[in-house]
């Protein structure tokens, strides 16, 4: 048995990050289970020390039922290694959120009802409001950083990227997770922490309700974001309503959160006053029963995946999934990241999609390449020349049947096209396998990640007055076959 400071018994690893590992621990004085964050002291750079101080200071300031509690911080702690010897660590003792990540419930059990989504969003808003009142801005709000305690109460966690408003009123650092970052943060311009957190919270709420993200990244190169930027919310909701159900009040709230102008974006107090926030919620007993059922499914799905990985003995694509496809070939030029597939909820009927930028003589030629890449697995399909779209049903090696749609979009470059691949039905993991096969087959014509390609401007609708009247969204028909 390994014991730190004669108080904390060290058990198995819960997770790991850039700075160190998080272990399950037991406080021998109280008997309470805790999370022990162990950070190697000799690897801490000056910047890392500064970030750690800021994380600890942020958590010390905020004491709230919906924010993870900081229990203790100790430096120069001798940590006994399994193979002998010791190393000096900074020990951060945190409240244990035994209910797991909110992300896991979205990944493995599907979207939530409005009653459950409202419950958790209210808890998120309440916790964030307390943070902001103490001049703490999180800057990395996402489902992975929203934990649940043993009673399934939400806890905001991981303040490693937080900012302290009383030290700097105007923030400059572009940090966080790109898929959840607000447009002003992504633009690289000075921004305020509160509106940026509100935007990220809105993305979380959308995923809670739909099971998939509202857009890939908040830049003008993303068609779904452009709808918000051009205030064409009717097109945004028309596209998404084909694969998820949103109440009018939920759409109204999210529309006002997805205001690209941070000055007019809803504030947390205004969100709290919105009518949707005061509609019915599940009683505590019903919520607990629902989440316990989902917990069992999460555990079963994780066990199944672990067995599949062990059977395949393949180290590829390990680690946590992300509800966003980080390598979607339509974001701004940036350092290439490992291709990670956009997953969605398994067998839930929710669409998953991704996009390639491809070089081809024509849209028909591109679709022909796609057809050739998967001909042997096609059960039935519709491949018509001149329509720039197709659909087909495939069987996988495991016998799964998936229905896939393809849409080719033009760009300003006549030799470059955007190929959208969308799962219409079927198991998402089977679609994921198909996506990987298609990626390999098309690798000779897929544009390099650092090549910037802008979408081709189309005529703006007559009823929209906008300075950028040459820019328009793809039609609703093009978004899905």
Round to whole Å and give the CA distance between 230 and 191: 21
Round to whole Å and give the CA distance between 408 and 362: 10
Candidate list 42, 104, 140, 469, residue with the active-site label: 140
Degrees, nearest 5: CA angle 219-264-159: 65
- Residues 272, 387, single domain; the answer is no
- The set of residues, in sequence order, having a beta carbon less than 8 Å from that of 31 and lying 6+ positions away, is none
> To the nearest whole number, what is the mean pLDDT of the chain?
81
Q: What is the mean pLDDT of residues 236-263?
A: 95
Q: What is the pLDDT of residues 300-337, one digit of tens each?
A: 988 888 888 788 765 555 555 555 543 433 333 333 33
* Residues pairing with 9 in the sheet: 3, 26
Q: Which CATH number characterizes residue 26's domain?
A: 3.30.200.20
Q: Which CATH number characterizes residue 156's domain?
A: 1.10.510.10
Q: Which CATH number characterizes residue 435's domain?
A: 3.30.310.80
Residue 30 lies in a domain: yes
What total number of domains does the chain contain? 3
Range of the domain at 129: 100-284
Say which residue, 122 or 169, is predicted with more confidence: 122
Confidence band of 192 (pLDDT split at 50, 70, 90): very high
Q: What is the mean pLDDT of residues 157-163?
A: 92
Q: What is the pLDDT of residues 98-150, one digit of tens each?
A: 999 998 998 888 899 999 999 999 999 999 999 999 999 999 999 999 999 99
- Residues 360, 270, single domain; the answer is no
Residue 8 lies in a domain: yes
H-helix or E-strand spanning residue 26:
strand 20-27
pLDDT at residue 386, rounded to an integer: 73
- Residues 113, 77, single domain; the answer is no
Round to whole Å and give the CA distance between 391 and 381: 6
The pTM is what?
Answer: 0.67
Name the percent of the chain lying above pLDDT 90: 45
Q: What is the mean pLDDT of residues 52-58?
A: 92
- Residues 73, 10, single domain; the answer is yes
Q: What is the pLDDT of residues 359-404, one digit of tens each?
A: 888 888 888 888 888 776 666 777 776 778 888 887 766 667 888 8
Residue 316 lies in a domain: no
Domain boundary among 35, 65, 95: 95
Confidence band of 474 (pLDDT split at 50, 70, 90): very low
Which residue has tokens 């109204």? 252
- Residues 83, 106, single domain; the answer is no
Give yes or no for a contact between 160 and 55, defined as CB atoms under 8 angstroms apart.
Answer: yes
Q: Catalytic: 444? A: no
Confidence check: pLDDT of 280 > 80: yes
Torsion of CA 270, 161, 37, 23, to 10 degrees: 70
Confidence band of 454 (pLDDT split at 50, 70, 90): very low
Round to whole Å and give the CA distance between 23 and 9: 10
Indicate the SS3 state at residue 303: helix
Query: Which whole-number Å values give the CA distances from 128 to 63, 66, 100, 141, 197, in the listed order?
Result: 11, 8, 19, 10, 8
- Residues 61, 105, single domain; the answer is no
Confidence check: pLDDT of 293 > 70: yes
Confidence check: pLDDT of 273 > 70: yes
Domain boundary among 266, 284, 302: 284
- Residues 197, 336, single domain; the answer is no
Domain boundary among 63, 95, 127: 95
Residue 315 lies in a domain: no
- Residues 82, 114, single domain; the answer is no
H-helix or E-strand spanning residue 316:
none
pLDDT at residue 317, rounded to an integer: 52
Confidence band of 356 (pLDDT split at 50, 70, 90): confident
Q: What is the mean pLDDT of residues 344-369?
A: 65
Confidence check: pLDDT of 19 > 80: no
- Residues 70, 49, single domain; the answer is yes
- Residues 109, 225, single domain; the answer is yes
- Residues 369, 477, single domain; the answer is yes
Name the percent of the chain lying above pLDDT 70: 79
- Residues 91, 118, single domain; the answer is no
Rounded-to-5 percentages of helix, strand, coil across the chain: 35, 20, 40
């Amino acid at each position: 048995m390994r014991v730190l400071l004669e108080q904390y018994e060290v058990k198995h690893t819960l997770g790991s990050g850039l700075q160190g590992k998080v272990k399950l621990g037991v406080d021998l004085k109280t008997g309470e289970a805790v999370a022990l964050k162990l950070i190697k002291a000799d690897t801490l750079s000056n910047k890392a020390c500064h970030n750690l101080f800021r994380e600890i200071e942020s958590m010390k300031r905020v004491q709230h039922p919906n924010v993870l509690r900081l229990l203790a911080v100790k430096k120069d702690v001798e940590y006994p290694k399994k193979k002998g010897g010791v190393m000096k660590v900074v020990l951060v003792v945190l409240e244990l959120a035994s209910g797991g990540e909110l992300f896991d419930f979205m990944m493995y059990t599907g979207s939530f009802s409005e009653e459950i989504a409202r419950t958790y969003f209210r808890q998120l808003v309440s916790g964030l409001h307390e943070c902001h009142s103490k001049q703490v801005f999180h800057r990395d709000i996402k489902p992975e950083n929203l934990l649940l305690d043993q009673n399934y109460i939400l806890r905001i966690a991981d303040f490693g990227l937080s900012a302290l408003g009383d030290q700097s009123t105007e923030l400059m650092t572009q940090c966080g997770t790109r898929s959840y970052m607000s447009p002003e943060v992504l633009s690289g311009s000075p921004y305020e922490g509160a509106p940026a957190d509100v935007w990220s919270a809105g993305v979380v709420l959308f995923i809670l309700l739909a099971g998939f993200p509202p857009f890939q990244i908040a830049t003008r190169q993303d068609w779904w974001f452009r709808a918000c930027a051009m205030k064409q919310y009717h097109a945004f909701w028309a596209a998404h309503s084909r694969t998820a159900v949103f109440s009018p009040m939920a759409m109204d709230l999210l529309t006002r959160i997805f205001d690209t102008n941070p000055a007019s974006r809803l504030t947390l107090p205004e969100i709290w006053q919105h009518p949707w926030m005061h509609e019915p919620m599940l009683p505590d007993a019903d919520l607990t029963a629902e989440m316990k059922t989902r917990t069992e499914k999460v555990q079963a799905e994780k066990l199944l995946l672990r067995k599949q990985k062990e059977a395949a003995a393949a180290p590829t694509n390990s680690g946590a999934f992300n509800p966003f496809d980080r390598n979607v070939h339509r974001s701004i030029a940036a350092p290439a990241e490992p291709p990670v597939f956009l997953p969605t909820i398994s067998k839930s009927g929710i669409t998953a999609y991704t996009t390639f930028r491809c070089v081809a003589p024509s849209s028909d030629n591109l679709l022909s390449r796609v057809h050739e890449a998967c001909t042997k697995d096609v059960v039935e399909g519709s491949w018509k020349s001149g329509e720039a779209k197709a659909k087909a049903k495939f069987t996988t090696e495991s016998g799964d049947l998936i229905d896939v749609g393809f849409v080719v979009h033009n760009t300003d470059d006549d030799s470059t096209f955007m190929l959208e691949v969308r799962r219409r039905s079927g198991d998402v993991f089977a679609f994921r396998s198909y996506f990987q096969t298609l990626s390999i087959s098309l690798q000779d014509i897929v544009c390099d990640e650092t090549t910037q390609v802008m979408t081709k401007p189309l005529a703006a609708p007559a009823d929209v007055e906008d300075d950028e009247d040459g820019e328009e969204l793809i039609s609703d028909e093009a978004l899905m076959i």
